[in-house]
Structure formats: structure tokens, C-alpha cells
Amino acid sequence: MKNLVILGAGTAGTMMANHLVSKLPKKEWKISIVDQYKTHYYQPGFLFLPFDTYTEDQVKKVGKKFIPKGVNYIQKKIEKILPEENKVTLEDETLNYDILIIATGSKIAPEETEGLLGPLWKKDIFDFYTFEGSLALRNKLREWEGGKLVVHLTEMPIKCPVAPLEFAFLADSYFREKGMRDKVEITYVTPLSGAFTKPTCSKSLSYLLSEKGIKMEIDFAIERVDNETKEIIDYGGKNIPFDLLVTIPTNMGDDVIQRSGMGDDLNFVPTHKHTLQSVENENIFVIGDATNVPASKAGSVAHFQAETLTDNILLYIKGYTLKEEFDGHANCFIETGNNKALLIDFNYVTEPVHGNFPFAKIGPLKLLKESIFNHWGKLAFRWIYWNMLLKGIAIPFVSRNMSFKGKVFDIKKD
Amino acid sequence: MDLNIAGIRVDVTEDGYLTDVSQWTKEIGIEIAKEEGITLTDRHWEVISWLQEQVKNDVALSVRGIKNSGVLDIKEFYALFPGGPLKISTKIAGVPKPKSCI
């Protein structure tokens, strides 16, 4: 009997368990998945929780529900990966593996920025990348009377790169609906040279910020937070005052990667960007946020990766050459407020384009354009996530590699 | 597009970054620095060589990378290339603009 061990039962790990359980012969392979946490969170929902759009119950479920029968689910803390010995040590047992899939994700590391965890943390400074942070921010916003709201992004890469911008857009709508937009000054602060991480997006979408009266500070590399003067200060000496700071702290891979000495300086595992095999060990594969591949850290990316990785694991078992297939495909809805959203579709080499999705000429979703239909798409995605995505069911008409049909590649034409 | 910098024809991107690092010369570096309002000192050149070395070895450049480099700290980086040090220093060094666009 051979062992395939999956570390992490988040989006990527759960999808891999579901894909592989029907593909690997049960008599030959035992599949185990390890995760110390009981709850599976719908992380895209953390964006909506602060604005009372979603309730707590809509963004969490018991993780075990999504692990298929026939997969050994181990709810324990992972101590260390020993790649030389093909072993993983857990809190009170050791697992041997023939194939290891690392899907330990990424998490916020507020301790990386001086002063962020000071006296104002969770009082006037919040994150929304954790369930607890998002919930605390909701409670704060319910009673907040206005002032300077600073939405800030520490450094790249982060999970769901568009989320901070979406937060600023949704905040604008939220305060408008509450009839207090005139009491709130919103500033968006980024270490990048534009609002969007993709230049074509910045070009065609920067109107959104001015339209919503959101101020922008670019090229801001934060050095520290001053809890007394309530300012964020960058290495160049620039300072931005806040009454309420919503920040995306540095994102890092899990501590177990560091303990195992397998990561880069942000604890992401060096991974072949087209095959998803780890660079160091041929029987270790990496998927989702845990990799260092230059793709977005997002559920849609993990979904597309999972299809390629499933094929590659089967090829690896047979001793065949792996497919260099994964192209960095990402597909993201961007909430722009007022019940509208944008949709972007891109990969390693192709910038987001205009056009229709998923069907050429028909759509019904519009790429790079605000529409109410896109917003419905984003809300419908929660259902798709729980009922299709985690179970490894392919989303109809959306292929793992980026399709070039019905898309306009010269941005000036549209 | 192409541009004439320090009497040499070079290919650059829309925002002025050399597309082919082999076209780079010290004179080009000096000229670009001048446009950014920077007079290059020995310390600048050390940092520029280090940046070029990193790119050659396929190391992605980032502010965090500077912090852990042991070559210089971020404060000094800002002092040498005020404004957006990574953006400005890479332009002078003739290497691609760092992508954090993911």
C-alpha cells in the first residue's frame, strides 16, 4: 500500500482530495489529509462580512463535510516535513509518504510591521483577512462615526490581490447607504505604482477611484505604525494619518514550511510554475497559496492548478514526463460597489483583457467592465464554492488554461 | 520604442526601462540618474551592480529582498534613490522594472 499525504484541508487541499479519491486505485493508494482546524472558511466572504452583506454562518462550515469518503482525515497539528526521509511528523504521530502535496496556504503576518500589533490593533487598526479580524471590523464599522479611513496594503504578494481595492469600493457604497459618506475620507495606500496590480487594469479602471472620491497614495513602503499620532509612516519619511486603518499585513506561508526549512524568505515553497512539482523534491507537489509561483494567490487559481496537478500526479505515478501545463490562469470578480462588479481573466503572460466571458460574443459576463450581472456572478460564486469547487467538479465552460476566444487584446480598441 | 541615451540608441519600455540589459553602459546609467535628479556616488554603483547581479541570477527584486540583502538597509536605499527606490534604481541599472503585479 502506498501513501499520498495532503497537508492542509483548505480550498486547494480539499479539492485535491476530491480529485484524487476517484482517480487513484483504492487497493494501491491510501490518501490522507491533515489539518489542525475544524472549520473551513469561505474566505472570499471575509470581504463582505464587515459590511453586513454576509452573516457569520454564511462564511464557515465544518471542514470534514467536504472531505470525501475513502480519504483519511487527520485533525492534528503538523510539526515538520522531513523531505529527506519522506516523512511528516504530527503532534503525536509520524506519517510516511510516497507522494506529498503541500497545500498549507498563506496567512497574515502583522508582526512583520513595527507597531501594527500595538495598542490600537483591533481598536482602530483591523485586518479583514481572518475571520476574527473581519468580524471585529464589522462591529467597529457598525458604530463608527466617521473620519479618516485608510485602506492599506503592506507588500506583495498577498492573497486575492484585488481585495483591498474592493474593500475601498465597498466602503464607499456602505457609507453612502448609511448617509454618512460626507463624514468619511477614504484613502487607498499601496506600495505599487498604481491602484491595480496589473498595468492594463490601472489604465482602464482608475476612473473608479476618482468617481468614488477615493484618494490614492502610491509607492508607499510602510516602515511602521505610530500608535500615538495614529499615522502610518514609510521608509521615505512620508506619513499618512488615520482614524481607522484597515490594513493587509504581509502575507506569508505557514510556519511549518519555515520549521521544515523548505521556503523562501516569505515561507513560500519554491515550485515549478508549469508543473507544480516542488523544485527540491520530485515526490513533493505544491498547490494554491503555498507556492512561490508568480500567479495570484486565489481560489480560482487553486482550482485551475488542481486540474493540472491531478493529471501530473497520475503521470508521476506511472513514471511519465509531467505536463508543463499550468499557465497562471486566474479569473476574478472585482466588486466595485453599488451592486456592480468587474470580471478579469488573465495568466502569467497575458494581461487582463476586454471581451465576453465565458462565451465569445455572448458573455453573459463582461470582462473589465462594471456590470450588475458580474456582481450576481460574484454572489453566486459562494454557492459554486461550497457545492462544486471544493468537490472538484469542473465549472462548466471555464477551462483550466486561459481561453483567447471572444477577447479583445488591444486595450485601446475598447 | 527606442531612445537616444548618452549618444547610444537603446530599446526601452513605455516608461523608460531598457528592454535589453546588454545595451546598458555606465554612461546610460549616469544619464538616466541625471533625469531622476540623482548624482551617482560609489555607493550608488555598488548597489546598482548588486541589483544587476540579482537579476542575472533570476532573483525577484523587492523591498523585502533589500531588507534581507545584507548589502544595504531600506533607509539607506531610500536615501540613495529618493521617492520610489526600487523603481528608480532598476531603471538606472538597466534591468526590468520589478513586477509585483500578481
* Set of cell numbers at residue A171: 466602503
- Annotated catalytic sites of B, by residue? 101
**Interfacial B residues in 63-82 facing A (CB < 8 Å):** 63-65, 68, 74-75, 77-78, 82
Pick from A389, A398, A385, A303: nearest CA to A54:
A385
What does DSSP say about strands A231-234 and A39-41: parallel, antiparallel, or unpaired?
Answer: unpaired
**Separation of alpha carbons A112 and A102, rounded Å:** 24
How far off is chain A from B100, nearest CA to CA, in Å? Answer: 6
Q: Would the CB atoms of A156 and B102 count as touching at under 8 Å?
A: yes
Q: Which residues contact A227 (CB under 8 A, 6 or more apart)?
A: A115, A118, A119, A120
Residue A66 near residue A390 (C-beta atoms within 8 A): yes
pLDDT in tens, chain A (414 residues): 999 999 999 999 999 999 999 999 999 999 999 999 999 999 999 999 999 999 999 999 999 999 999 999 999 999 999 999 999 999 999 999 999 999 999 999 999 999 999 999 999 999 999 999 999 999 999 999 999 999 999 998 999 998 999 999 999 999 999 999 999 999 999 988 888 767 777 777 778 899 999 999 998 999 999 999 999 999 888 999 999 999 999 999 999 999 999 999 899 999 999 999 999 999 999 999 999 998 999 999 999 999 999 999 999 999 999 999 999 999 888 899 999 998 888 888 887 877 788 877 777 787 888 888 888 888 888 888 998 889 988 777 788 888 877 666 554 443
What pLDDT score does A408 carry? 66
More confident residue, B6 or A115: A115
Residue A12 near residue A102 (C-beta atoms within 8 A): no
What pLDDT score does A184 carry? 98
Q: Which residues contact A63 (CB under 8 A, 6 or more apart)?
A: A9, A14, A35, A37, A38, A39, A40
| Sign of the CA dihedral running A405, A367, A394, A97 | positive
Q: Would the CB atoms of A265 and B65 count as touching at under 8 Å?
A: yes
In chain A, the domains with their CATH numbers are 2-48+61-105+254-318 (3.50.50.60), 108-251 (3.50.50.60), 330-413 (no CATH)
Give one DSSP letter per residue of A152-206, joined into a string. Answer: EE-SS--BSTTHHHHHHHHHHHHHHHTT-GGGEEEEEE-SSSSSSSSHHHHHHHT
Tell me how far CA of residue A403 lies from CA of A214, A330, A348, A393, in angstroms.
Answer: 34, 11, 13, 19
**Model pLDDT for residues B28-62, shown as the tens digit of each residue:** 999 999 999 999 999 999 999 999 999 988 887 88
Is B68 strand, coil or helix? coil
Q: Would the CB atoms of A223 and B101 count as touching at under 8 Å?
A: no
DSSP state of B42: H
State the pTM of this model: 0.90
Pick from A21, A77, A315, A44: nearest CA to A159:
A44
**Is B13 at the interface with chain A, CB within 8 A?**
no
**Separation of alpha carbons A295 and A380, rounded Å:** 24
Within 13 A of A86's CA, how many CA atoms are on the CB side? 9
Q: Would the CB atoms of A156 and B62 count as touching at under 8 Å?
A: yes
Q: By CA distance, what is B101's nearest residue in A?
A: A197
